[in-house]
Chains A and B, each alone.
Chain A
């Protein structure tokens, strides 16, 4: 073992790190691996993780397929199957142009939000960190609306794929600025953050930026028409021209995020311990922050500001497989994708013929999770 390769936290005994150094962070299911004679327990835990991973991937696929079949417009399942198999039929246009890209966008956005939430919680060592609650998504949305309003005023309009890339670039700028601001106001230090102050700063930032975005869209009829659902957070009306650019950013970032689990594990032991294990907290913060900005920015460019998903998913996953970030990041992405798809389907069927925005349903599902976290945890740092 060389020092360039940080150790993964849940198996400290095997890699020669003193078990006491692992501290409370490895307590719980992942920590059982460190017990003497834990070989059987370790393999049982590993088997469970693999089973959960398989189950969640299947769940994403099932939810995506379900989202193609269910919608505000009632289509016979047989017609949908015909359309999917390329046999044409009455439903073909609906399925190919609306439902399939919408389901795929839901998967991509959900993956991005879940991974971004897990990353933020690891980087800030804060159980309430999440791009939606901390105002990062709101910042991305505000920047998009601003850029499009000024572009429109100057007569610049990019449409199609190019337009989506412009939107996404604006979203990255906004997400980065909002992240920096929320960490500054929230008093983040290298030792982690105070969950209360960071959450409050995020809530204030979300309100300010949300009011700004609201004001901009209200006063620009063209923007209002294009973005009335998006500015709340919705998968509605975004076709392939939105899907491909967003996916082209999210998927590579997701791969990097999944591979960064071992460094995140080292960071979870605290800045001093992390540094001793070869994980430079500063460099990690910059790299991780860039990943969060890419994931949250692209997700917001795709579906508007959606909160609570990135909070709930890592929480659920930690309960299922323990605190090992090599598993938490990818499985959070899967859980979040399922949540976004389910929220989107609920929003489509709950009040026909109107649609309820995905973000609204996500808040209804996610806010109780937030309350539960606040209630149960003694607001300890992660």
Chain B
């Protein structure tokens, strides 16, 4: 089924909220706004929301301080002891929120870049953007002792610089099918390795004093979130959402190729630039909170695409799926026996690296 580029005709007043259209697609309508989707995507989306709720409930009960479900429930309603309230509202809820927001941001950014490069491996964690965002945050923290806003902006800014450097060094941006995507991936891997070493070097200065924070900035963790940075990042991520809603239709057109897209009236270059800017903003905001978390951006769009079926890029499903991945990885990393503590970045690194190896070995059989 080719994605339809033309918007469905505006419904008559009083149209039902959920409306089936001729080609089996489904339209969600709310006043003048409508979201055209498929039944399959609605079901998958609902399942993912349920999964998020279940994981969040699980995550509320996990932590170094044991709390019974009743006490958690009371604390959530504000009826528990002040100590329980601090644990639940001060530590666990923000941690869950951070996992969901960072996961969704990484997944969306991965979807944008994979669409741009036309290559599943052209995702920001493989091509060094995540590491580059971490470099900016490290410089801001270690050298300038910056505020929360400063750290978040430094992460976004250095992510943008990294993206510009990688794109310029690769000499191509998203020309499909000519190997340009792969050159971009390899250049990105090289830039990422350089920046990872640079981060290591910068952290050598401080590793004696604040080694736990240093560890966070090398492998990514939800342990040492900073509440202010989280707030700034949430604002940044939320600001990207309208832009994404606007871009998602154009991304569908770009999937058909540059010529078809410009014939459909989509400004190709401007759309690419906007996608890059939004993608880097999402990566920077996410990385400022947790440090460099790898493979969520790589795996989530691919798996979500398989769940959602063909058609327009399934951004909502990607975001939900990525949130499930990161929250799940965090629950795993907390549920591991206390003798075996792994930051969530190592869990995603292990799982995602294995996923990438499987992806590559499947490619061999073709």
Interface membership of B35, Cβ < 8 A: no
A196 within 8 A of B: yes
Minimum CB distance partner of B195 in chain A:
A367
Instruction: Name which of B150-158, B243-251, B277-285, B350-358 contacts chain A.
Output: B350-358
**Is the Cβ of B205 less than 8 Å from the Cβ of A367?**
no
Whole-angstrom distance from the CB of B127 to the nearest CB of chain A? 11
- B40-48, B227-235, B315-323, B340-348 - the one binding chain A: B340-348
Contacts of B350 in A (CB 8 A): 208, 211-212, 215
CB of A307 within 8 Å of the partner chain: yes
Residues of chain A lying within 8 A (CB to CB) of residue B179? 379
Question: Interface 1/0s, chain B 195-216, versus A by CB < 8 A?
Answer: 0111011001101100000000
Chain A positions 300 through 318: 1 when the CB is less than 8 Å from some CB of chain B, otherwise 0 = 0000000110000000000
CB neighbours of B198 from chain A (8 A): 364
Residues from chain B with a CB closer than 8 A to the CB of A368 are: 190, 194
For A76, what are the chain B residues with a Cβ–Cβ distance below 8 Å? none
A356 to B207, CA, bound (A): 11
B191 touches A196 (CB 8 A): no
> Are A204 and B353 in contact, CB atoms less than 8 angstroms apart?
yes
The answer to whether B189 has its CB under 8 Å from any CB of chain A is: yes
Cβ of A375 under 8 Å from chain B: yes
Given A356-B200, A360-B200, A374-B186, the answer on whether A367 and B194 have CB atoms closer than 8 Å is yes
Whether B340 contacts A371 by the Cβ 8 Å rule is no
- Is B363 in contact with A187, judged by CB distance below 8 angstroms? yes
Shortest distance from the beta carbon of B143 to any chain A beta carbon, whole Å: 13
- Distance between Cα atoms of A211 and B294 in the complex (Å): 11
Q: What chain B residues lie within 8 Å of A364 (beta carbons)?
A: 194, 197-198, 201
Nearest A residue to B352 via CB reads A207
Q: Is B56 on the interface with A (CB-CB < 8 A)?
A: no
Least CB separation from B171: chain A residue: A375
| Contact between chains at B190 and A370 (CB < 8 Å) | yes
**B111 interface residue per 8 A CB criterion:** no
Instruction: Out of B294, B346, B353, B361, name the residue touching A214 (CB < 8 Å).
Output: B346
* A215:B183 contact, CB within 8 angstroms: no
Q: Beyond A207-B349, A308-B193, A368-B194, is A374–B183 a contact (Cβ under 8 Å)?
A: yes
Contacts of B171 in A (CB 8 A): 375
B187 at the interface (CB under 8 A from A): yes
Interface check B364, CB cutoff 8 A: yes
Q: Does B308 contact A (CB under 8 A)?
A: no
Is the CB–CB distance between B185 and A200 below 8 Å?
yes
B73 within 8 A of partner (CB) = no
Q: Which residues of B contact A356 (CB under 8 A)?
A: 200-201, 204
Q: Report which of B121, B189, B197, B340 forms a contact with A219, defined as CB distance below 8 A.
A: B340
Given contacts A211-B346, A212-B350, contact A197 B196 (CB under 8 A): no
Q: Whole-angstrom distance from the CB of B164 to the nearest CB of chain A?
A: 15
Q: Chain A 273-316 against B: per-residue CB contact (8 Å), 1 yes, 0 no?
A: 00000000000000000000000000000000001100000000
B12 an interface residue at 8 Å Cβ cutoff? Answer: no
In the complex where A350-B201, A364-B197 touch, is A374 in contact with B219 (Cβ < 8 A)?
A: no
Asked if A219 contacts B339 (CB within 8 A), the reply is: yes
Q: Are the CB atoms of B357 and A204 closer together than 8 Å? A: yes
Q: Mark A182-224, 1 if CB is under 8 A from B, else 0.
A: 0011110000000011011101110110111011001100000
Q: Is B360 an interface residue (CB 8 A)?
A: yes
A side interface size, CB within 8 A? 44
> In the complex, which of the residues B170, B197, B204 contacts A354, with contact meaning CB atoms closer than 8 Å?
B204
A207 adjacent to B353 (CB under 8 Å): yes
Q: CB of A351 within 8 A of chain B?
A: yes
Q: Is the CB of B353 within 8 A of A208?
A: yes
CA of A187 to CA of B357 in the docked complex: distance in angstroms?
Answer: 11
Q: Which residues of A contact B191 (CB under 8 A)?
A: 367, 371
Alpha-carbon distance A356/B187, docked complex (angstroms):
25
Is the pair A196, B361 in contact by a Cβ cutoff of 8 Å?
no
The answer to whether A203 and B357 touch (CB under 8 A), given A208-B349, A211-B346, is no
The CA-CA distance from A192 to B183 in the complex, in Å, is 19
Q: Is B169 an interface residue (CB 8 A)?
A: yes
* Per-position 1/0 for B116-133, Cβ under 8 A of A: 000001000010000000
**Interchain CA distance A232-B201 in the complex, whole Å:** 12
State A375–B166 Cα separation when bound (angstroms): 11
List B contacts of A324 (CB < 8 A): none
B349 and chain A: residue at smallest CB distance: A211
B193/A185 in contact, CB under 8 A: no
The residue from B170, B196, B208, B361 contacting A185, defined by CB atoms under 8 A apart: B361
Alpha-carbon distance between A382 and B193 when the two chains are bound, in angstroms = 24
For A181, the chain B residues whose CB sits under 8 A away are 357
Q: How far is the CA of A181 from the CA of B185 in the complex (A)?
A: 21
Q: How far is the CB of B290 from chain A (nearest CB, A)?
A: 16
Contact across chains for A196 and B204 when beta carbons are under 8 A apart: no
Q: List 10 A-B contacts (CB under 8 A).
A: A186-B360, A197-B364, A210-B349, A351-B205, A354-B208, A355-B204, A360-B201, A361-B197, A371-B190, A379-B183
Since A197-B364, A205-B353 are in contact, a sample of 10 more A-B pairs with Cβ atoms closer than 8 Å, ordered by chain A residue number, is: A199-B186, A200-B121, A200-B360, A203-B189, A207-B349, A208-B349, A211-B219, A215-B340, A232-B200, A354-B205
B residues sitting closer than 8 Å to A (CB atoms) are 121, 126, 169-171, 179, 182-183, 185-187, 189-191, 193-194, 196-198, 200-201, 204-205, 207-208, 219, 294, 339-342, 346, 349-350, 352-354, 356-357, 360-361, 363-364
- Lowest 10 A-B CB distances belong to which pairs? A208-B353, A367-B194, A363-B197, A211-B349, A371-B190, A204-B356, A370-B190, A374-B186, A207-B353, A187-B364
